[in-house]
Amino acid sequence: MKYTRLTKEQFEELHQEFINFLATQSITANEWADIKKNKPEAAEQELDVFSDLVWFGVLSKVEYLEHISPQQLHLFKCKEKDMHLIALKINNTSINLTTMEGFQWLRDNMLSDSIEFFNAKKGYSNDKHMDVFKMIQQGANITKGELFQYFEKLIGQK
pLDDT, tens digit, for every residue of 33-62? 999 999 999 999 999 999 999 999 999 999
Kindly state whether residues 44 and 79 are assigned to the same domain: no
- Asked if 90 contacts 114 with a C-beta cutoff of 8 angstroms, the reply is yes
Structural domains in the chain (count): 2
pLDDT reported for residue 154: 82
- Asked if 84 contacts 120 with a C-beta cutoff of 8 angstroms, the reply is yes
> Which residues touch 11 (CB under 8 Å, ≥6 apart)?
18, 47
127, part of any domain: yes
Kindly state whether residues 80 and 143 are assigned to the same domain: yes
Kindly state whether residues 56 and 74 are assigned to the same domain: no
Report residue 20: phi and psi, to 5°: -60, -40
DSSP 27: -
pLDDT reported for residue 112: 83
Name the pairing type of β-strands 82-90 and 72-78: antiparallel
Domain limits at 94?
64-155
1, part of any domain: no
Cα distance between the two ends of the chain = 37
pLDDT reported for residue 157: 54
pLDDT, tens digit, for every residue of 2-20? 999 999 999 999 999 999 9
Kindly state whether residues 117 and 146 are assigned to the same domain: yes
Kindly state whether residues 124 and 150 are assigned to the same domain: yes
Kindly state whether residues 57 and 74 are assigned to the same domain: no
**pLDDT, the chain, mean:** 92
**Any bridge partners for residue 74, and if so which?**
67, 87
pLDDT, tens digit, for every residue of 108-157? 988 888 899 999 999 999 999 999 999 999 999 999 999 999 989 887 75
Predicted model pTM: 0.84
